[in-house]
Structure 1
Amino acid sequence: MITAPAYRTAEHPRSLTPARVTVLLVAAALSLAMEFSGWIATPEADRPEAAWFTLHLLVPLAFLISAAVSWRIDPDSRLPPRLMVLFALAWVPQTFYAVIGGLGWLWPIVRGIDLSWALIAGIIVMLYPAGRITSRLERFVARTAVIASAVNLIAVLLLAQGSTTPCGAAPCAPNAYLVADAPWLFAFFDVGYRVVGTALMAMVAVRQLVQWMRGTTPSRTVAFLMPAALLAWIATLAVQTLSYAVDRTFDQVLSTISLIALATIPVAYVSGINHLHNLRARVADLMRITREGADRLVWEESLRRVLRDDSLEVYWWTDEDGRYERASGDVLPRDAGAAGADRSYLTVAAPGGRPLAVIRHDRVLTDNARLLDGVSSALRLSVDNGRLRSEVERTLAQVRESRLRIVEAAARAQRSVERDLHDGAQQRLVSLGLELRLIANAAASAGSAGLAEDLEIAIEELGQALRELRELAHGIHPSLLSQGGLSLAVPELAGRCPVPVDVEVQADGRLPELVESTAYFVVAEALANIAKHAQASRVWVRAWAAGGMLHLVVRDDGVGGVDPNGSGVMGMRDRVEAADGSLVLESERAHGTTIRAEIPLPPGTAV
């Protein structure tokens, strides 16, 4: 079974705290003090060249600067930058023995640890890029190197003689810890320590170089500088060991190359972790995918591109089958938890523990927990956004359908009221008017002039009421719209506007009832507002069907400045949007007003 790795999440401290700055400054001061004091204490004839001295001085500074950069890139980094600081303190120049050579209790201690810089540099190499020792071979090398360094320190303290150890131009003071006069035994431990150290580090260098050559693109990308640094560092150890074995006769060129090579180790380390940091930052590119949800093919390709792992595969959990599957249909093997030497698996689960996906990736990416945390978070966001997007789209579709049903129900109710008024009350009033006319004529014939006059007044009032009732019925749902469509109803509507209106309706045949009624009432509301507020001298109304849409434009030459949030405009917009259309208002002061509406036509509508 595959289990999700337990990655630590902690609040990051500030990259360069006052304590860290103090440590860096103190280490730099001590390193410079050893360099310059040794330079001054050494007779001028015995001093190394200024260029070589300067280069030797820059090596510990390169480690200290790299430590500061490492802390800034990765504030959680602990061991690697601390070892870089320790390297600067262990980088003891040989000229420094001219300063402490007279102290028989001090120089043996310094002499016993002055090669610990090689051990520290080797551990830094093994810590790259995960920041910790991961393999069994590396643990063996580290333990052996520590033991060999401890044996070397004991051998120096107990066997090194001041008379044979140079401290500048003169021998050192007698060793306060000397217990035996055995130069041959001391030489055995002294040279053997260097040989063992070189062999151990060569093992690590060869192993990592072979891994890099056989590695996948991500592993090569992460370790793109370290192979060169490893080879340079092995050259450094070889030069040091060989030079020491032949009476310490250093070739100036080789010695200079060795210093440059050693300084590349922290630079390569910082360059590598900076690349990993940038790789984590590229995970932010995945957030663009989350806006559209988790398209499985796009997600896998994007993840490959971001992590630069062409062999990466994403297996998605399917509730129906209860298993992980790729977009191509491949099923996650049951023994996936037993990953191979170069592959690893990352399980991504929802906050509640529900499985989402398994990512099969290059094992080198496992060393960067925060990178994988970012990938997991991006994938969870993508899935959540896809689910929320589906829910929102489903809700919006239900709302649109509900609005359409409401509009259609309102239109049916309007037609029903219009029919009731026309066939009921209106017909009764017409019949009543005819009866009153007959009675008025009869009264006039009978000589009842007063009664006939009163009846005429009643007939006139009844006619006015009938006209108002017809206007009301026409406003509820014009019968002309139902009978002839927009091409007849819009011109008739424009004829009742007090402002001259130019009408052009290009719609062959009838359009769907909802589309026609929506467009009609938009024109009616627009003309009513123009008559009341626009102070216009002319109005233009145009309607045409094209591209699956009914396009409607109402324009006037009035004063403009219409409030887009006014009740009239909001009413028109609500009607149009209820039909899944859109309405745009353009109304600059003194430049008239233009209303543009687009209402979609159902598929198959003949236009």
Structure 2
Amino acid sequence: MAPGRRGRIVRRTAVITFVVALSLWMEIAGFMATPEAERPEVSYTTLHAIVPLVFAACAGIAWRIGPTRAPPRLMVAFVVLWIPQSIYHVIGGIDWLWPLVRGVDLGWGVIAGVLVMVYPKGFLGDRFDRWIAGIAVVTSIVNLLAVLLLASPQAVACECVVPNPYRIADAPALFALIDIGYRVVGGALALAIAGRLLVRWVRASVPARTVAFLMPLALFAWATTLAAQAVNYAASSTANTVLNTVSLIAMASIPVSFDAGVAHARNMRARVADLMRITREGADRGLWAESLARTLRDASVRVYWWDEERGRYVDAAGTPIDEVDADSRGSHSILPVASPLGTPIALIRHDRVLTDNMRLLDGVSSALRLSVDNGRLRSEIERTLEQVRQSRQRIVEAGDEARRRIERDLHDGAQQHLVSLGMRLRLAANAARGAGEERLATELGDSITMLNQSLKELRELAHGIHPSLLSSGGLALAVPELAGRCPVPVVVDVQAEGRLPELIESTAYFVLAEALANIAKHSAATRAWVRAHIVDGDRLELVVRDNGRGGARLDAGTGMVGISDRVDAVDGTIEVESPPGAGTTLTVHIPLGGPLIEH
């Protein structure tokens, strides 16, 4: 945890702990200082003390998850302004204090109203909210001045026992009018806020209701009871305990609803991660729009993609965006998404209420950019891999063609010349022997023997470069001949149903040649088996097995690496099973990539 963040957490925890302790102390002190005959029921006092505790706890949560710092600060201010209701019997004898406390003892109502209006963005969003907040602040200031300048201990019913030192006039009727008017205006404002939110919630789209969450219901319950209390106060009616209890419960539900709504919005942002998982392979247009609508819970979501060729936005079906959808006024808004370089990517048409949750929309924009980038990178990687695969295949084909050309040149050139030279030497030896030159004839015979040995080695070299049997007869003829030259006895099973493409045949031949060479050199086997069959009509399966010591690995030695490289070059797969002491089984699958060539 960063030092700065740790310090903020410590300070916030200290503030919340202090106001909670102060609130509880004042609640208990006020209850104990109240004459026993006037004390409210313990259950009501307990519920009254719980309300600020709920606000304080929710302030801590809001500091953690809230959109701005304003909501948790408002909740802490509510706890402080809730205190005056319970301490008049404690401060009644302090002449300079009780008028100030009495002047702000309903400030918690203003704080609660502002808290509701800043939901969920964390600030006052429109002109209506600012007007309501302004009226509430002005009437609160008027009420404070009225208490300071006009209130007497008898007029405020606060059990105050000393005069008001700030009082400048004796006008009980005017003060009563202002006092009652302040409460009526407060109740009316609360009803206006609650009514507006409730109507908007009822008429709103699904996304708007999701964002609003429980707040309208909590506020409406509290505003209704507050208005009823204002009417009772104006009529000097006896306080209704049931009504007060309902008001306290509704009041406590406001910060809970606030935090629950913010947490719900955060969960919506967390679902953007699910959106990324769904579209991680790239931005499939139809799937993206469907997944986005599900994530935002907004069935009206439309996604229009930038068409570079036509220079305009189109939907997944290629239909251009119309003027109605492009208009950001009304109940919908347009979210443009562009690349970091400013290149247009898409337009997202969504319910306007989602603009209150800009973090969610920012997450959606980032997810779309990443999906598009993932799709582009995936296409580029696949194209690059295909180019590499084709390049490797061309290299293998070029190598095989070079082998065939060298083998042909050796067979048609050097071998023929050596054969002709051998025939001439034999004629010369016969002539020398006929002339009685035995010494010369013997030397010519030795030269013929050396020439035949060189010719044999040259033929073996040419065969190793590219066997002529493979070109003329395919695997059916070349593999048995190859197995016959292995010092380990080999059982051969080759399917002879037509010829394979040249690249497949040469790859299979040299894989088998390298595998048999490894058996002869390293396995200490006494027997081996070679199988070459067409499987499922579309791939060649090669199986080379021996009864040697085992322990072979693909990454052990240049021979196995060479086999793996050749197989990879033709998109084949290779498996090795080689438990120690139980022999080795090499299995290779090579896709044919074309029809068989008939004999």
Find the counterpart in structure 2 of residue 561 from structure 1: 551
Instruction: Check conservation: 2:143, 2:178, Cα contact below 8 A.
Output: yes
Q: 1:559 to 1:15 in 2, by over 3 A?
A: farther
Return the match for 2:405 from 378, 394, 416: 416
Return the match for 2:449 from 456, 460, 463: 460
Instruction: Check conservation: 2:571, 2:590, Cα contact below 8 A.
Output: yes
- CA apart distance, 1:603: 3.7
The answer for unaligned runs of 5 or more in structure 1 is: 1-10
- DSSP 3-state at the match of 2:154: coil
Once residues 588 and 532 of structure 2 are traced to their aligned partners in structure 1, the CA distance between those partners, rounded to angstroms, is 9
RMSD: 1.9
Return the match for 2:525 from 515, 521, 536: 536
Q: Are 2:117 and 1:101 equivalent residues in the alignment?
A: no
Return the match for 2:355 from 343, 366, 374: 366
Q: Are 2:106 and 1:111 equivalent residues in the alignment?
A: no
- CA apart distance, 1:546: 2.3
Aligned partner letter, 2:475: L
Aligned partner letter, 1:520: Y
Which stretch of the first structure deviates more once superposed, 225-234 or 479-488? 225-234
Q: Are 2:224 and 1:232 equivalent residues in the alignment?
A: no
- DSSP 3-state at the match of 1:88: helix
Aligned partner letter, 1:129: P
Aligned partner letter, 2:98: W
Find the counterpart in structure 1 of residue 477 from structure 2: 488
- CA apart distance, 1:14: 6.1
- CA apart distance, 1:290: 4.6
Q: 1:220 to 1:15 in 2, by over 3 A?
A: farther
Instruction: Check conservation: 1:535, 1:559, Cα contact below 8 A.
Output: yes
Return the match for 2:83 from 81, 89, 92: 92
Q: Are 2:87 and 1:61 equivalent residues in the alignment?
A: no
Once residues 349 and 284 of structure 1 are traced to their aligned partners in structure 2, the CA distance between those partners, rounded to angstroms, is 20
Deviations 1:175-219 (A, max 9, x none): 111122222111111111111111112111111111111111111
Q: Are 2:20 and 1:28 equivalent residues in the alignment?
A: yes
Deviations 1:505-525 (A, max 9, x none): 124101100000000000001
**Higher-RCO chain (CA-CA 8 Å, sequence separation at least 6):** 1
Find the counterpart in structure 2 of residue 189 from structure 1: 178
Aligned partner letter, 1:519: A
Aligned partner letter, 2:56: L
Deviations 1:439-486 (A, max 9, x none): 333333443333333222222211111111110111111110111111
Alignment of 1:347-386 (within 5 A): 347-386=336-375
Find the counterpart in structure 1 of residue 329 from structure 2: 340
Find the counterpart in structure 2 of residue 6 from structure 1: none
Instruction: Check conservation: 1:507, 1:543, Cα contact below 8 A.
Output: no
Once residues 15 and 544 of structure 1 are traced to their aligned partners in structure 2, the CA distance between those partners, rounded to angstroms, is 73
Return the match for 1:270 from 259, 262, 287: 259
Which stretch of the first structure deviates more once superposed, 339-348 or 371-380? 339-348
Aligned partner letter, 1:314: V
Q: 1:515 to 1:405 in 2, by over 3 A?
A: same
Return the match for 2:283 from 294, 297, 311: 294
Find the counterpart in structure 1 of residue 130 from structure 2: 139
Instruction: Check conservation: 1:191, 1:245, Cα contact below 8 A.
Output: yes
Find the counterpart in structure 2 of residue 212 from structure 1: 201
Instruction: Check conservation: 1:504, 1:542, Cα contact below 8 A.
Output: yes
Which stretch of the first structure deviates more once superposed, 121-130 or 453-462? 453-462
Return the match for 1:78 from 55, 66, 69: 69
The answer for unaligned runs of 5 or more in structure 2 is: none
Which stretch of the first structure deviates more once superposed, 474-483 or 382-391? 382-391
Instruction: Check conservation: 1:31, 1:89, Cα contact below 8 A.
Output: yes
Find the counterpart in structure 2 of residue 580 from structure 1: 571
Once residues 320 and 431 of structure 1 are traced to their aligned partners in structure 2, the CA distance between those partners, rounded to angstroms, is 70
Once residues 115 and 376 of structure 2 are traced to their aligned partners in structure 1, the CA distance between those partners, rounded to angstroms, is 46
- DSSP 3-state at the match of 2:304: strand
Deviations 1:533-589 (A, max 9, x none): 110111111111123111111111211222422211111111111122222233232
Once residues 368 and 538 of structure 1 are traced to their aligned partners in structure 2, the CA distance between those partners, rounded to angstroms, is 74
Once residues 335 and 484 of structure 2 are traced to their aligned partners in structure 1, the CA distance between those partners, rounded to angstroms, is 73
Q: 1:269 to 1:104 in 2, by over 3 A?
A: same
Alignment of 1:159-178 (within 5 A): 159-168=150-159, 171-178=160-167
Q: 1:88 to 1:307 in 2, by over 3 A?
A: same
Once residues 203 and 42 of structure 1 are traced to their aligned partners in structure 2, the CA distance between those partners, rounded to angstroms, is 36
- DSSP 3-state at the match of 1:329: coil
Once residues 153 and 309 of structure 1 are traced to their aligned partners in structure 2, the CA distance between those partners, rounded to angstroms, is 46
Aligned partner letter, 2:45: F
Deviations 1:61-111 (A, max 9, x none): 10010010111223x621111000000000035341001111121111111
Alignment of 1:315-326 (within 5 A): 315-326=304-315
Return the match for 1:153 from 114, 131, 144: 144
Find the counterpart in structure 1 of residue 114 from structure 2: 123
- DSSP 3-state at the match of 1:91: helix
Q: Are 2:184 and 1:199 equivalent residues in the alignment?
A: no
- CA apart distance, 1:328: 2.2
Instruction: Check conservation: 1:73, 1:274, Cα contact below 8 A.
Output: yes
Aligned partner letter, 1:24: I
Once residues 71 and 507 of structure 1 are traced to their aligned partners in structure 2, the CA distance between those partners, rounded to angstroms, is 78
- DSSP 3-state at the match of 1:92: helix
Find the counterpart in structure 2 of residue 3 from structure 1: none
Once residues 558 and 178 of structure 1 are traced to their aligned partners in structure 2, the CA distance between those partners, rounded to angstroms, is 111
- DSSP 3-state at the match of 1:503: strand
Instruction: Check conservation: 1:440, 1:452, Cα contact below 8 A.
Output: yes
The normalised TM-score by structure 2 is 0.95
Which stretch of the first structure deviates more once superposed, 391-400 or 295-304? 391-400
Once residues 254 and 483 of structure 1 are traced to their aligned partners in structure 2, the CA distance between those partners, rounded to angstroms, is 104
Once residues 110 and 21 of structure 1 are traced to their aligned partners in structure 2, the CA distance between those partners, rounded to angstroms, is 26
